[in-house]
A and B are shown apart, each in its own frame.
Chain A
Amino acid sequence: MKKYIYSIVITAFMITLSVSCKKSFLDQVPSDYINENEVFGNINNAELFVNNFYTYIGSWNYGTGDSYVTSAMTDESKQRWSNGAVLFNTGSWNPSNFSPLSLDWTNAYEKIRAINTFLANYSLVPEDPNDPSKKTRLKGEALMLRAYYHFILYRGWGKIPLMIAPLAPATDGDAVFLERSDLTTVTATISKDLDEAMTLLPEKHSNNAYWGRATKTICMAIKSRLNLYYASTLSNSNNDLARWQNASTLSKQALDMALANGYTLLPKYADVFLTYANTEIIWGRNIGTGGGSGIDQVMQPLGYSGWSNSGPIQDLVDDYEMKTGVAIKAAGSGWDPKHPYKDRDPRFYATILHPGAKWKNRTINIYGNDKDNAAEPGTNYWWKKYMTEGLTLSNNTGGSNKSFSLIRLAELYLNYAEAQNEAIGPDANVYGAINAIRSRAGMPVIPAGLSQTQMRDVIRHERRIELVFEGHRFWDVRRWKIAEVVDNKPVFGVNYTIAGTTDTTFTYFQSQNRVFSASKHYLMPVPQSEIDKLVGKNSGFTQTPGW
């Protein structure tokens, strides 16, 4: 018996060991998990949390309401690939499928939730002893961005559920079932956030490291744009002039504030899109050099190692006036069908690459390397706005950072001109604003004595030319309710045949036929998946009319 004592001891020891540990073996505290206190209890971390609010503010790229794809969904350009834009072009978009714009719905609300989470935890954020304005600035940024994201939703859907608290089914029960607020409430709520943000933010940051962050001037500019939309036909079917007046006042204030803070129109139009953080940009963001899947790579012809993804359409090309300020189709314009790109608005040459244009030390040749794949024909025009000539795409060298402007000074002139013309008529302020834009572009001033209607056309035309590819047109033609005309017809591209040595014949081929239904296409449908989640639970929530 003695002989086995040792094994009894061992066994007993092991059993005791295994069952008698005080701290449970499974009690692992994942120490790299971070809670609210850690994020918001430290103002530097809180700032990092705020930084991510900016990621969906929009850009040039493919995705959401970005300028590349919205440009291809309206009368600016045509996307070569058969996704996204094509759905809109053919009018076959529907609540189950209208990507990429359906993403605006989820993306904007995602950011609004993050902002609401920040605001709900704002009391945890300590003051920064070295920067007393930091805490309030963060709140100002949060409020401005909540307003901006709500504006993005208003722009697409009109009536929207307003989210001003981080609601969750687990904690709020049926309170999560919201209705779509009416337009007045929507705009008032957005304005309220902007107004509060303005009390917390400087008009312009003196610290260069803050370029791109929210300012009071940006708030004013957003307010100007918001009220312009609110006064436009789509939201203002009865043409309530008070709204125009309000828009005009706010636009003027925004313009004045921008000018007072040193924002200027750059002398050279093309530089606005190539010089990083230039003085014309009120709110902008970095878009890199354009190489390595950047904007240059996406837009340039195949022969330059680009992807030729989006071709400007003939209609846009034709809308550029002669450099004399006369439309090409007007009598005596001097436009030569055999040399159609000669003597045009200087902005044309800064905006569009056309066959025969000199680009990167050679001529663009649609019978050579620059030809698009036959499977995905383009228009034989390419974007030049934002393009850096010195950038070599095959090895991504020679580029430098560029900024995409979400709001630039020129827009404020155009906003003001439009609102003032609608509210008062074509007074000197209107002329002044429009001519400021044209003079910088190197174009003659507009003739005096235009009627309000004529002036309206001029302003709309000027806006189309000046702000092309910047993500405005798609929404402008909707708020003006002219999409049923401009986006409801064939679009064309160009070809030419070389006959002899000098004579060139240009032919225009139909690249696409576009369909727009006035009865429903002006506003986005709420994604079907969202409707499905609410059916039977939230009877007050309805689909956008027409869908």
Chain B
Amino acid sequence: MKFNNFKLYGYSYAKSKILLTMKLTAIFLFTFLTSVGATSFGQRITLTEKNTTLEKALTAIGDQSGYDVLYNSAKIKKARVFNINLRDVTLQEALSKCFIDQPFSYSIETNSIVVRDKGSSTISANSANIDIRGKVIDETSMGLPGATVKVKGTSIAVVTDDDGKFAIKNVSEDAVLQVSFVSYVTQEVKLNGKSDLLIQLIAESGSLEEVVVSAYGQTQKKASVTAAISTITSKELKQSPVANLSNALAGRLPGLTSIQASGVPGGDASTIYIRGIGTYGANRSPLIVIDGLPRGDANFGDIDVNEIASISILKDAAATSLYGIQGANGVILVTTRRGNVGKTNISFNANYGLQTPQRIPEKFSSVQQATVDNMGAKNDGLAPVWTAKEVELFGSQQDPYTYPDVNWYKEIFEKYTPQQQYNANISGGNENVKYFVSLGYLNQGTLFKDANENKYDVKQKYDRYNFRSNIDIKATEMLNIRVDLASRLENRTGPGPGYASVFSYVNRIPNYTTPVYNPNGTYGAGRITANDIRNPLGALKESGYYDNYFNSTNGTIEASHRLDFITKGLSAKALYSFENYAESNYAQNQQFDAFRYRKDPITGVETYTSFSQISSLTRTYATTSTRYFTYNVQLNYNRDFGKNNITGLLLFNRNYNSRSNALPSVYEGYVGRLAYNYDAKYFAEFNIGYNGSENFPKGNRFGVFPAVSAGWLISAEPWYNAKTVSLLKLRGSFGYVGNDKFTNDVNSVVDRWLFISDYARSGGFDFGTTPTNPGGYISSRIGNPNITWERAQKMNIGLEAGFFKDQVRLEFDLFRDDRTNILSAPLTIPSYLGITNPPKINIGRVINKGFETSLNFKTKLNEVNLFGYVNWTYNKNKIIERDEPNLAYPYQSLTNLPVGYQLGYNAIGLFNNQAEIDAAPRQTFAGAVKPGDIRYTDMNNDGIINENDRVALQNNNFPSNVFGVSMGASFRGFDFSVLFQGTLGGKTYVPYLGPNRLGDIWTPETAATATYPLVHYSLAGGLNNSQINSFFIYSSDYLKLKNVEIGYNLSQSLLRKMKINNLRVFFSGLNLLTWDKLPYEDFDPEQTANGTALYPTQKIYNVGLSMSF
């Protein structure tokens, strides 16, 4: 490859200068991108030529070496002609031969051979020249040897020495340095007269040099990682305009399953699982670790995305065993941003989005509902519920008070509600102090119309303020201090009954039940025979409100000290972190006046029957507060002995969590790690956690959780020469971790100290001629002195590969988790013993197996940068053991099935006629079975269908496959990306009939095609079809266009005038499209609705701006 007419000489004619800059940028970018990961100086050259020109020879060398050759094609003609005879020599040797007695010199810079005039190295303009020296460091502040430091716009370039240091003489004091290194992001540093420089390079994400954060804030190069860890950086997280960060993770990380079940403002976090569910025990949630520490307030989703550097998930035992007794469900590790050495960077981000429900249940119109009612009544042999006249009135709306047709969704819901998010942050630092300071604000509006027009003048909303300041101080050559302080304030305001209740009223109330208002202006409450559902509008506007404040503050002080004077490579660290958080709930509740209005059809007499009466506002108030602290002391060791590298860690930690409603919970543990690598090719690690939890009886509190792992970077072997597969690494791990929590809620006070028996004051009974309850005592718990933690044995085998100079990267992990000692209630104790709360025992076993894979590519076509990312996770668990009784009907056993099965009837279609019913086993649910009803399998062949014929059915919306596909491109200032995300293997039970399924209902005429059974009106008649059965279990597989982002970076020339470094405007969207297999479009398949609608999850259209100075 060659580049002609390369104006390298810096002739100062202004016109071509800009052109030159652009070309340079493009060339450097290109050479940089195409050479990622290539090992330098390894190429051998063979060249035999007589009377050749320098141009020809260099072209040949460039072709053989893959290096670009940069020269001025006009000037190079002056070179002398020469003979050359090279056989398998190095690049340097070849070049030095070519340049003997030439009026040119050469240098090798970032995979380019640059040809210059001899002696004309720099052209100084009008500014003074200085001598500079400096050091290039990586993210871990280690010196980076071999990095290229180039003075921009000149040919001066040097390479850093073994300590990462460099020195350049006679440089213009306002020059710009370009610092580059393979696998790192190239940095430009303005001298501004400084002569002593510290330059930090950040590794490219995904490269072997990338710094991976692991347990307890340890860092290591990706190349040396032997555990299963996946990471996402804030760049990708920011593409999703979400309020809660947990919702931005879907489809982004292999091994992570996220399920968002609600869209309530300030309460829409996703539930997250790592590698699926591995236990039927109550706690399936991963441990949340923020900046290396398990937290009391583990709600990481409410951290401002701009404060976050990366989120990692630790999946296998090698990654989690340091958290030992808490690590069995995996660990989510959130790392916040810190300052880097460099110029102060001020950035400002603004997002404004419109939320609209992904889906809203469709409702029958009054006429449709009345028709279906009459159809059902007819099927049940009842008189029509509505007369023809009434049905007509529903349609004509002549009497909208007695015969209303109110679409409550339209009445109550806004089409769009705003969500806005702003953040300003400053970061930077020098050798001694590095800082990151951020302030963020988020506001999420409610879906409910009139939410702000209630009679209390209280605006319903969710507000969040985030503050963070992370500071690193180099106190002495050997002492580093880290001081972090973060705070979060949240305010949730909502209607008295709560969002979920109001939504459920809206969802349950049919169109024909009640007018919004009665003729006299009071709230309607429907006809007498209607179900008791509160008027949703009244519930929203006149039932009071709640105001919930949450605030959380945490701070960390860490001192680390090098102890090289004891032995080289040794250092000690001590860390203390506190956290205080509190919540205050203030609510005012009241009843509102609502009347059931009826106008007698014959006499025309109007009656108002009181349904609910206004009551005075009642105030309720509750506060909870939590104080949490953790500290650890540790010794670190890291030293190279020739090609051997040894890393060691010894850590002691404690944490303490005291709450206003329970005794404190405490942990204590010792952690050890020993890692060895030889020549950065062979890696071995041993991790051990020795942790204790007060949940267990004295003497049995501590568990040992060891893990071993190893890795082999095959492509680093000298004999390795595969061209296509540029990177190949194998790794594996085996170990044990535990789970000491027996409830999903980390702050729950239930199921603690299960080894202790307890009595409690509870209940009592009314005695006396004036009834008085003196109270009572119950035996609330029988202790199990043998209680212990759940134990997970985890195995993992991983493969990492890079293809075509690492433009395509593949990671593949195969895992097997074997969870034993699952805490569960014994199911085999006869109930005649009267033990209603038998002590829980550690008995169950679940095996969870699967794989996850990701494929990543980046390339450039002309000026277009392209990237793509695919990840897929599959897991399947199986209950191997459960304390299950000797079932009379073995098909009702839940053992040997995945977690989450439920007993129900196996449907085998619909009865087509009476003859079929007569011939079939008798279905014993109340009400006569009619043609069109669901037919069930008689599992025990006794001729009767009853409870004994229920079989285990999958009825949990928990997918076995989750995947994400993202693609993007950038061209000049434009960038574009999309993310598709989906799941396979989930099921949901939805016995639901909506307007779009009217044609599916069974009638004698549609018998052949019907997909919905006969409708019933009477409860008894409907019982046959309303049993939990496989007929209504649908696949909840879905594919979502989760995320689209289009951005534009304003041109630099324009921005420079405004003193802005970077300004980007972007449009993004969330949950834009959904494809699924449900027979209706009423629910988001991700919401585990099981027939009950939940506050809908939101689609978001967002416009944003980010700028930095």
- Tell me whether A176 and B833 are in contact (CB under 8 A): yes
Task: Return A285 CB to nearest CB of chain B, in Å.
Answer: 7
Chain A residues with CB below 8 A from B668, complex form: 24-26
Task: Tell me the complex Cα distance, A366–B737, Å.
Answer: 67
- Tell me whether A114 and B778 are in contact (CB under 8 A): yes
Known interface pairs A7-B561, A25-B668, A90-B924; A35-B757 also in contact (CB < 8 Å): yes
Closest to B527 in A: A369
> Is B382 part of the binding interface, using a Cβ–Cβ cutoff of 8 Å?
yes
Task: Return B776 CB to nearest CB of chain A, in Å.
Answer: 4
- Tell me whether B1017 and A4 are in contact (CB under 8 A): no
Task: Return B777 CB to nearest CB of chain A, in Å.
Answer: 4
Closest to B786 in A: A170
- Tell me whether A11 and B663 are in contact (CB under 8 A): no
Task: Return A289 CB to nearest CB of chain B, in Å.
Answer: 11
Which of B760, B779, B828 has the largest count of A CB atoms less than 10 A from its CB?
B779
Task: Return B371 CB to nearest CB of chain A, in Å.
Answer: 15
> Is A431 part of the binding interface, using a Cβ–Cβ cutoff of 8 Å?
no
**Contact of B565 (CB < 8 Å), options: A1, A32, A276:** A1
Task: Return A31 CB to nearest CB of chain B, in Å.
Answer: 8
- Tell me whether A32 and B663 are in contact (CB under 8 A): yes
- Tell me whether B633 and A15 are in contact (CB under 8 A): yes
- Tell me whether A302 and B529 are in contact (CB under 8 A): yes
Chain A residues 160 to 201 lying within 8 A of chain B, measured CB to CB, are 160-161, 163, 166-170, 176-178
> Is A539 part of the binding interface, using a Cβ–Cβ cutoff of 8 Å?
no
Task: Return A214 CB to nearest CB of chain B, in Å.
Answer: 11
Chain A residues with CB below 8 A from B885, complex form: 529, 532-533, 535
Chain A residues with CB below 8 A from B652, complex form: 15, 18-19
Chain A residues with CB below 8 A from B600, complex form: 368
Chain B residues 550 to 580 lying within 8 A of chain A, measured CB to CB, are 559, 561, 563, 565, 572, 574
- Tell me whether B1019 and A209 are in contact (CB under 8 A): no
- Tell me whether A51 and B775 are in contact (CB under 8 A): yes
| Total residues of chain B contacting the partner, CB 8 A | 91
- Tell me whether A47 and B774 are in contact (CB under 8 A): yes
Chain A residues with CB below 8 A from B46, complex form: none
As a 0/1 sequence over residues 387 to 418 of chain A, the CB contacts with chain B under 8 angstroms (1 = contact) are 00000001100000100000000000000000
> Is A263 part of the binding interface, using a Cβ–Cβ cutoff of 8 Å?
no
Task: Tell me the complex Cα distance, A286–B773, Å.
Answer: 10
Task: Tell me the complex Cα distance, A90–B478, Å.
Answer: 85
Closest to A10 in B: B574
Chain B residues with CB below 8 A from A538, complex form: 830
Chain B residues with CB below 8 A from A55, complex form: 763, 765
Chain B residues with CB below 8 A from A291, complex form: none
Task: Return A499 CB to nearest CB of chain B, in Å.
Answer: 15
**Contact of A106 (CB < 8 Å), options: B607, B698, B831:** B831
Chain A residues with CB below 8 A from B834, complex form: 109-114, 116, 163, 166
> Is A372 part of the binding interface, using a Cβ–Cβ cutoff of 8 Å?
yes
Known interface pairs A163-B834, A210-B767; A25-B666 also in contact (CB < 8 Å): yes
Closest to A54 in B: B765
| Total residues of chain A contacting the partner, CB 8 A | 100
**Contact of B771 (CB < 8 Å), options: A8, A33, A168, A401:** A401
Known interface pairs A30-B756, A394-B612; A48-B693 also in contact (CB < 8 Å): no
Binds B, one of A232-240, A251-259, A374-382, A449-457: A374-382
Closest to B530 in A: A373
> Is A213 part of the binding interface, using a Cβ–Cβ cutoff of 8 Å?
yes
> Is A269 part of the binding interface, using a Cβ–Cβ cutoff of 8 Å?
no
- Tell me whether A94 and B948 are in contact (CB under 8 A): yes
- Tell me whether A371 and B528 are in contact (CB under 8 A): yes
Task: Return A453 CB to nearest CB of chain B, in Å.
Answer: 37
**Contact of B947 (CB < 8 Å), options: A3, A54, A97, A286:** A97
- Tell me whether B1017 and A48 are in contact (CB under 8 A): no
Chain B residues 707 to 765 lying within 8 A of chain A, measured CB to CB, are 752-753, 756-765
- Tell me whether A369 and B528 are in contact (CB under 8 A): yes
Chain B residues with CB below 8 A from A7, complex form: 478-479, 561, 563, 572
Known interface pairs A11-B572, A32-B663, A211-B767; A375-B776 also in contact (CB < 8 Å): no
Task: Return B77 CB to nearest CB of chain A, in Å.
Answer: 63
Chain B residues with CB below 8 A from A177, complex form: 830
- Tell me whether A109 and B833 are in contact (CB under 8 A): yes
- Tell me whether A51 and B574 are in contact (CB under 8 A): no
- Tell me whether A92 and B946 are in contact (CB under 8 A): yes
> Is A517 part of the binding interface, using a Cβ–Cβ cutoff of 8 Å?
no
Chain A residues 105 to 131 lying within 8 A of chain B, measured CB to CB, are 105-106, 109-114, 116-117
Chain B residues with CB below 8 A from A534, complex form: 830
Beyond contacts A25-B654, A117-B779: 13 other A-B pairs, Cβ-Cβ < 8 A, are A26-B668, A82-B1020, A92-B926, A110-B834, A113-B834, A160-B832, A163-B833, A176-B833, A303-B609, A369-B607, A377-B1018, A533-B830, A538-B830
Query: Which residues in B have some Cβ–Cβ distance to A below 8 Å?
Result: 377, 382-383, 385, 476, 478-479, 528-529, 559, 561, 563, 565, 572, 574, 596, 598, 600, 607, 609-613, 633, 652, 654, 663-664, 666-668, 692-694, 698, 701, 752-753, 756-779, 782, 827-836, 839, 885-888, 924-927, 946-948, 1017-1020, 1023
Query: Which residues in A have some Cβ–Cβ distance to B below 8 Å?
Result: 1, 3-4, 7-8, 10-11, 14-15, 18-19, 24-28, 30-36, 38-39, 45, 47-49, 51-52, 54-55, 81-82, 86-87, 90, 92, 94, 96-97, 105-106, 109-114, 116-117, 160-161, 163, 166-170, 176-178, 208-213, 276-277, 285-286, 302-303, 305, 368-369, 371-377, 394-395, 401, 527-538
> Can you show 23 pairs from A to B with CB atoms below 8 A apart?
A19-B652, A25-B666, A28-B666, A33-B758, A34-B758, A39-B777, A49-B777, A52-B765, A52-B777, A92-B946, A105-B831, A106-B831, A109-B831, A169-B829, A208-B769, A212-B765, A286-B771, A305-B609, A369-B528, A372-B529, A532-B888, A533-B829, A534-B830
